[in-house]
Structure 1
């Protein structure tokens, strides 16, 4: 009887142990999953703490075109003549506005081509630069003078640094010579001082000189 009770008790322990271990593993896994959102929240919090500068433009607006959409586009006349490709654009440094387009005219395979400038506001640009027209004939473009570019300015050279020491010439100071006459308190003798040299009469009629 005791033997059967021991066998039943052992069987019960073996049956309960896997279930207990499974519940413990599930509880540990659930605790780790609950801890993950707290760890992932810190990078988001740090990124939101960085302010965005007003100088940063987030996206391209509808009227805006990229420069490489324009450079390389071919200008056509209103009658369908090919004028030439846009090779460059000119920008006003003060207003920031595009003022002219540089167009390559004439030549063959890039040889003998000259560059002329046409006013930017005279161009009709459609479909983000895929169609560009202007009221200019091919004959007028070939007769136009070649555009003259100026030399690019260089920044001014920095001024030499000074160490704060100045050079000057001072006037020469010369001491004057004074002449005075004094009277001694005893003997009734008188002396004369000239330029720091004192000469006085002696008590017995002799001459005394002191420097």
Structure 2
């Protein structure tokens, strides 16, 4: 059983090979080091392996789908937004669940002890509405 570590859920925007030259913007180096690249290669693709994918319990029952990932101000993927119930998004109940509660087993996202009813009993997650700045 492999736990989904927050670092493994980070979105990756790099090429498969390390750059052959130093990438610099101003005084800050861009890109990743060879050591970081090794960690990235062993990670999980959010786009391909997490977002929109079903979440199962340990009894292999589907309990929801991963709708989103929340990155905290400390730059850590800390919560997964899981939607349960509903049909085509209508009537879906979204909840925030800490990523350290998930496991990644045999290509499946597993949330031990979860049921659809247990997820629906959690407080619903709603995105904070951002005020649009007034036009000048």
1:62-101 mapped onto 2 (5 Å cutoff) = 62-68=41-47, 69-93=49-73, 95-101=74-80
Q: Distance in 2 between matches of 1:154 and 1:110?
A: 26
Identify which of 126, 139, 144 aligns with 2:117.
Answer: 139
Q: Distance in 1 between matches of 2:62 and 2:77?
A: 23
- Which 4+ runs in 1 deviate beyond 6 A? none
Higher relative contact order (CA 8 A, sep 6+): 2
Q: Distance in 2 between matches of 1:78 and 1:122?
A: 12
3-state DSSP of counterpart to 1:108: coil
What are the ranges of 5 or more consecutive residues in structure 2 without an aligned counterpart? 1-19
1:115-134 mapped onto 2 (5 Å cutoff) = 115-126=94-105, 130-134=107-111
- Report the TM-score, using the length of structure 1 for normalisation: 0.43
Which of structures 1 and 2 has the bigger CA Rg? Answer: 1
Q: Deviations over 1:72-94 (max 9, x none)?
A: 1111011222111101000112x
Give 1:105 deviation, angstroms. 0.6
Q: 1:55 to 1:79 in 2, by over 3 A?
A: same
Identify which of 24, 28, 31 aligns with 1:56.
Answer: 31
- Number of aligned pairs? 107
What are the ranges of 5 or more consecutive residues in structure 1 without an aligned counterpart? 1-47, 156-211
Give 1:149 deviation, angstroms. 2.0
Q: 1:77 to 1:92 in 2, by over 3 A?
A: same
Q: 1:51 to 1:110 in 2, by over 3 A?
A: closer
Q: Distance in 2 between matches of 1:63 and 1:122?
A: 20
